[in-house]
């Protein structure tokens, strides 16, 4: 049986977006057929570095990205491009979890292989939407915030699960419904359909983060609420913004007490 960790590394290293998507879908199918599995004697993971990515988009600081409204064709393209970049990064984030964190239960690998496949499909849909709008991935600058957090949490599965799915990716659960309504008001049902699919599936992705964060807390004998609050204060205070989508976050594994505590942090 072949190693899922080696397959994850191949997906991570692919620079061309189409190749990364194709490798991801193939690895996901092989995993589902039982042809890939964790290997106890597998080569240990390499230190984290930049994943494979194309030369463009150029990576800049978030402040260097221009603010554009959705009401213009240019603004619509920039928005879809930004979401495509998030989904491209999310493919790498899912594969890095599979590659980096060894000795986890089988369900952990099943969850994150599934997330990688979902994110690859999302990227395909957004790349196709960009093409319909006369653009392509790489036409606009982007930032690297998601991967920078992956680098900060490479030493700890617990911290990765807390800060990437449950903070950075959970932000999408809060803001996407409003974006959907704005685009629907503008008559852009094509983009709305893509975002509605992504929103539904991202709930399950954040839920996977919640599930494995709590599993890691139990393994390490720490309180999940106290640990989550501490990690946010240490690493992600600036990334925490409201208002929160309570319904989506509850479906994604947050509880009422957590949401109350998060809301207290942003007051």
Q: What percent of the chain stands above pLDDT 90?
A: 88
Rounded mean pLDDT of the chain? 95
- Has residue 69 got a pLDDT over 70? yes
Q: List the domain boundaries for the chain.
A: 2-38+68-265
% of the chain at pLDDT higher than 70:
100
Asked if residues 9 and 39 have their Cβ atoms less than 8 Å apart, the reply is no
- Asked if 77 and 130 count as a contact pair (C-beta separation under 8 A), the reply is yes
Q: Which residue in 96, 83, 111 sits closest to 148, CA to CA?
A: 96
- The confidence score (pLDDT) of residue 237 equals 83
What interhelical angle do 170-185 and 189-220 show, nearest 10?
Answer: 170
Q: Determine the average pLDDT of the residues in 140-167.
A: 96
Residues near 258 by beta carbon (within 8 Å), at least 6 away in sequence: 225, 228
Residue 53, pLDDT score: 97
Instruction: Using the predicted structure, report yes or no on whether residue 1 has a pLDDT greater than 70.
Output: no
- Cα–Cα distance, 99 to 48 (Å, whole number): 10
Measured in degrees and rounded to the nearest 5, phi and psi for residue 189 equal: -70, -25
Q: CA quadruple 59, 203, 34, 99: dihedral positive or negative?
A: positive
Lowest mean per-residue pLDDT among 34-43, 84-93, 120-129: 34-43
Under the banding of pLDDT at 50, 70 and 90, the label for residue 265 is confident
Asked whether residue 42 carries a pLDDT value surpassing 80, the answer given is no
Q: Which of 36-40, 105-109, 160-164 has the weakest average pLDDT?
A: 36-40
pLDDT tens-digit readout, 50-59: 999 999 999 9
- Mean pLDDT for 204-233 is 97
SS3 for the chain is CEEHHHHHHHHHHCCCHHHHHHHHHHHHHHHHCCCEECCCCCCCCCCCCCCCCCCCCCECCHHHCCCCCCCCHHHHHHHHHHHHHHHHHHHHHHHHHHHHCCCCCHHHHHHHHHHHHHHHHHHHHHHHHHHHCCCCCCCCCECCHHHHHHHHCCCCHHHHHHHHHHHHHHHHHHHHHHHHHHHHHCCCHHHHHHHHHHHHHHHHHHHHHHHHHHHHHHHHCCCHHHHHHHHHHHHHHHHCCCCCCHHHHHHCCCCHHHHHHHHHHCC
């Amino acid at each position: 049986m072949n190693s899922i960790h080696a397959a994850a590394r191949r997906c991570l290293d692919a620079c061309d977006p189409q190749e990364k998507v194709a490798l991801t879908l193939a690895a996901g199918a092989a995993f589902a057929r039982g042809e890939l599995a964790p290997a106890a004697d597998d080569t240990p993971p390499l230190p984290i570095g930049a994943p494979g990515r194309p030369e463009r988009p150029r990576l800049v600081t978030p402040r260097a990205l221009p603010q554009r409204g959705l009401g213009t064709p240019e603004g619509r393209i920039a928005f879809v491009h930004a979401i495509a970049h998030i989904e491209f990064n999310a493919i790498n984030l899912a594969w890095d979890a599979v590659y980096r964190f060894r000795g986890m239960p089988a369900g952990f690998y099943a969850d994150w292989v599934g997330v990688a496949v979902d994110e690859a499909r999302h990227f395909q849909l957004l790349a196709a939407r960009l093409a319909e709008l006369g653009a392509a991935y790489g036409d606009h600058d982007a930032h690297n915030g998601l991967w920078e957090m992956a680098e900060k949490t490479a030493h700890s599965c617990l911290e990765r699960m807390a800060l990437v799915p449950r903070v950075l990716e959970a932000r999408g659960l809060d803001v996407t419904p409003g974006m959907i309504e704005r685009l629907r008001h503008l008559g852009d049902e094509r983009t709305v359909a893509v975002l509605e699919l992504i929103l539904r599936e991202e709930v399950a992705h954040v839920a996977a983060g919640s599930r494995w964060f709590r599993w890691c807390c139990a393994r390490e004998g720490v309180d999940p609420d106290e640990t989550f609050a501490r990690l946010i204060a240490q690493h992600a205070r600036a990334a925490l913004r409201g208002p929160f989508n309570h319904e989506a976050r509850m479906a994604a594994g947050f509880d009422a007490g957590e949401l109350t505590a998060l809301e207290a942090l942003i007051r």
